[in-house]
Amino acid sequence: MTSAPQGGRTWHRAGWGPLGLLETVVKSAAFVCAYGAALASDGPAGLPSGARLAVLVLLVIAEAGLLLAIGDRWIEREMTAAVFVIFNNAAHLAMIAALLRGVSAGWIVAFALLMLAGELVKIVFLRTTGFTVRDASPGLLVRLTAGYAAIYAAVAVLAALG
Protein backbone atom coordinates (compact mmCIF):
# COMPACT_ATOMS: atom_id res chain seq x y z
CA MET A 1 0.00 0.00 0.00
CA THR A 2 1.33 3.43 -0.90
CA SER A 3 -0.19 6.77 -0.13
CA ALA A 4 -0.10 8.15 -3.68
CA PRO A 5 -2.63 7.26 -6.35
CA GLN A 6 -1.46 5.39 -9.42
CA GLY A 7 -0.69 7.62 -12.39
CA GLY A 8 0.37 10.81 -10.62
CA ARG A 9 0.08 12.97 -7.56
CA THR A 10 -3.30 14.60 -7.79
CA TRP A 11 -5.27 15.44 -4.66
CA HIS A 12 -7.10 12.33 -3.53
CA ARG A 13 -8.56 10.51 -0.52
CA ALA A 14 -6.94 7.24 0.47
CA GLY A 15 -8.77 4.36 2.09
CA TRP A 16 -7.04 4.11 5.47
CA GLY A 17 -9.05 1.17 6.81
CA PRO A 18 -10.12 0.54 10.40
CA LEU A 19 -6.65 1.04 11.93
CA GLY A 20 -6.20 4.34 10.16
CA LEU A 21 -9.61 5.42 11.36
CA LEU A 22 -8.81 4.31 14.93
CA GLU A 23 -5.54 6.28 14.89
CA THR A 24 -7.42 9.35 13.68
CA VAL A 25 -10.08 9.06 16.38
CA VAL A 26 -7.57 8.50 19.21
CA LYS A 27 -5.31 11.35 18.13
CA SER A 28 -8.32 13.61 17.60
CA ALA A 29 -9.21 13.04 21.25
CA ALA A 30 -5.65 14.12 22.09
CA PHE A 31 -6.15 17.25 20.00
CA VAL A 32 -9.29 18.07 22.00
CA CYS A 33 -7.20 17.74 25.19
CA ALA A 34 -4.59 20.11 23.79
CA TYR A 35 -7.15 22.70 22.73
CA GLY A 36 -8.88 22.34 26.11
CA ALA A 37 -5.55 22.78 27.88
CA ALA A 38 -4.90 25.98 25.97
CA LEU A 39 -8.31 27.31 26.99
CA ALA A 40 -7.93 26.18 30.61
CA SER A 41 -4.45 27.61 31.13
CA ASP A 42 -4.75 31.09 32.54
CA GLY A 43 -1.43 31.73 34.19
CA PRO A 44 1.16 34.18 32.95
CA ALA A 45 3.41 32.86 30.22
CA GLY A 46 6.85 31.86 31.35
CA LEU A 47 9.59 29.37 30.70
CA PRO A 48 9.12 26.33 32.94
CA SER A 49 11.90 24.64 34.86
CA GLY A 50 12.78 21.08 35.83
CA ALA A 51 10.63 18.28 34.41
CA ARG A 52 8.30 20.76 32.73
CA LEU A 53 11.22 22.24 30.81
CA ALA A 54 12.05 18.74 29.59
CA VAL A 55 8.40 18.29 28.55
CA LEU A 56 8.58 21.58 26.67
CA VAL A 57 11.75 20.52 24.84
CA LEU A 58 10.19 17.19 23.85
CA LEU A 59 7.00 18.84 22.59
CA VAL A 60 9.02 21.36 20.56
CA ILE A 61 10.99 18.48 18.99
CA ALA A 62 7.72 16.73 18.13
CA GLU A 63 6.32 19.96 16.69
CA ALA A 64 9.43 20.49 14.53
CA GLY A 65 8.88 17.10 12.94
CA LEU A 66 5.19 17.83 12.43
CA LEU A 67 6.03 21.09 10.68
CA LEU A 68 8.13 19.07 8.23
CA ALA A 69 5.19 16.69 7.82
CA ILE A 70 3.13 19.51 6.31
CA GLY A 71 5.48 19.53 3.32
CA ASP A 72 5.30 15.77 3.05
CA ARG A 73 1.50 15.83 3.03
CA TRP A 74 1.59 18.50 0.32
CA ILE A 75 3.84 16.28 -1.82
CA GLU A 76 1.63 13.23 -1.27
CA ARG A 77 -1.58 15.21 -1.87
CA GLU A 78 -3.74 12.98 0.30
CA MET A 79 -6.56 15.18 1.57
CA THR A 80 -7.32 13.44 4.87
CA ALA A 81 -3.66 13.38 5.95
CA ALA A 82 -3.12 16.96 4.77
CA VAL A 83 -6.00 18.28 6.89
CA PHE A 84 -5.10 16.03 9.82
CA VAL A 85 -1.50 17.29 9.99
CA ILE A 86 -2.74 20.88 10.26
CA PHE A 87 -4.90 19.97 13.29
CA ASN A 88 -1.98 17.93 14.69
CA ASN A 89 0.34 20.95 14.46
CA ALA A 90 -2.29 23.21 15.99
CA ALA A 91 -2.76 20.78 18.87
CA HIS A 92 0.95 20.62 19.60
CA LEU A 93 1.23 24.40 19.48
CA ALA A 94 -1.79 24.66 21.79
CA MET A 95 -0.20 22.25 24.28
CA ILE A 96 3.10 24.15 24.12
CA ALA A 97 1.25 27.42 24.81
CA ALA A 98 -0.68 25.78 27.66
CA LEU A 99 2.55 24.45 29.15
CA LEU A 100 4.10 27.92 29.00
CA ARG A 101 1.04 29.22 30.88
CA GLY A 102 1.29 26.63 33.64
CA VAL A 103 -1.49 24.22 32.72
CA SER A 104 -2.06 21.39 35.18
CA ALA A 105 -0.22 18.12 34.65
CA GLY A 106 -3.46 16.21 34.02
CA TRP A 107 -3.97 17.93 30.67
CA ILE A 108 -0.42 17.13 29.58
CA VAL A 109 -0.63 13.50 30.70
CA ALA A 110 -3.98 12.99 28.95
CA PHE A 111 -2.66 14.51 25.72
CA ALA A 112 0.56 12.50 25.83
CA LEU A 113 -1.14 9.19 26.62
CA LEU A 114 -3.70 9.63 23.84
CA MET A 115 -0.96 10.56 21.37
CA LEU A 116 1.06 7.55 22.54
CA ALA A 117 -1.96 5.29 21.99
CA GLY A 118 -2.41 6.77 18.52
CA GLU A 119 1.24 6.11 17.66
CA LEU A 120 0.94 2.51 18.86
CA VAL A 121 -2.09 2.02 16.61
CA LYS A 122 -0.10 3.57 13.76
CA ILE A 123 2.75 1.10 14.32
CA VAL A 124 0.29 -1.80 14.05
CA PHE A 125 -1.14 -0.17 10.90
CA LEU A 126 2.32 0.18 9.36
CA ARG A 127 3.34 -3.38 10.21
CA THR A 128 0.12 -4.96 8.95
CA THR A 129 -0.44 -2.97 5.76
CA GLY A 130 3.07 -2.45 4.36
CA PHE A 131 2.23 1.24 3.92
CA THR A 132 5.04 3.28 2.36
CA VAL A 133 5.66 6.90 1.48
CA ARG A 134 7.66 7.39 -1.70
CA ASP A 135 10.99 5.60 -1.18
CA ALA A 136 10.73 5.19 2.60
CA SER A 137 10.51 1.59 3.76
CA PRO A 138 7.78 0.50 6.14
CA GLY A 139 10.56 -0.22 8.66
CA LEU A 140 11.75 3.39 8.53
CA LEU A 141 8.21 4.62 9.07
CA VAL A 142 7.81 2.27 12.04
CA ARG A 143 11.07 3.59 13.55
CA LEU A 144 9.98 7.22 13.09
CA THR A 145 6.61 6.46 14.64
CA ALA A 146 8.31 4.62 17.51
CA GLY A 147 10.39 7.76 18.08
CA TYR A 148 7.22 9.79 18.45
CA ALA A 149 5.79 7.12 20.75
CA ALA A 150 8.90 7.41 22.93
CA ILE A 151 8.52 11.20 23.05
CA TYR A 152 4.90 10.94 24.19
CA ALA A 153 5.72 8.25 26.76
CA ALA A 154 8.48 10.45 28.18
CA VAL A 155 6.18 13.48 28.22
CA ALA A 156 3.52 11.52 30.12
CA VAL A 157 6.00 10.25 32.71
CA LEU A 158 7.73 13.61 33.16
CA ALA A 159 4.43 15.47 33.46
CA ALA A 160 3.08 12.95 35.96
CA LEU A 161 6.22 13.03 38.09
CA GLY A 162 7.16 16.67 37.70
| pLDDT tens digits for range 3-13 | 444 446 788 78
Cβ-count burial 108-142 (b if 16+ within 10 Å, e if not): bbbbbbbbbbbbbbbbebbeeeebbbeeeebeebb
Higher pLDDT, 53 or 130: 53
pLDDT at 104: 96
pLDDT of 2 over the 90 cut? no
Is residue 77 left, alpha or beta, with left meaning phi > 0 and alpha meaning psi from -120 to 50? left
CA distances from 58 to 32, 63, 82, 123, 159 (A): 20, 9, 23, 20, 11
pLDDT at 12: 78
- pTM of the prediction? 0.91
pLDDT at 78: 87
**Cα–Cα distance, 113 to 139 (Å, whole number):** 23
Residue ranges covered by each domain of the chain: 17-161
Name the average pLDDT for the chain.
92
**Cα–Cα distance, 85 to 27 (Å, whole number):** 11
pLDDT at 48: 95
> Could you tell me what percent of the chain has a pLDDT over 70?
95
| 3-state secondary structure at position 133 | strand
pLDDT at 8: 61
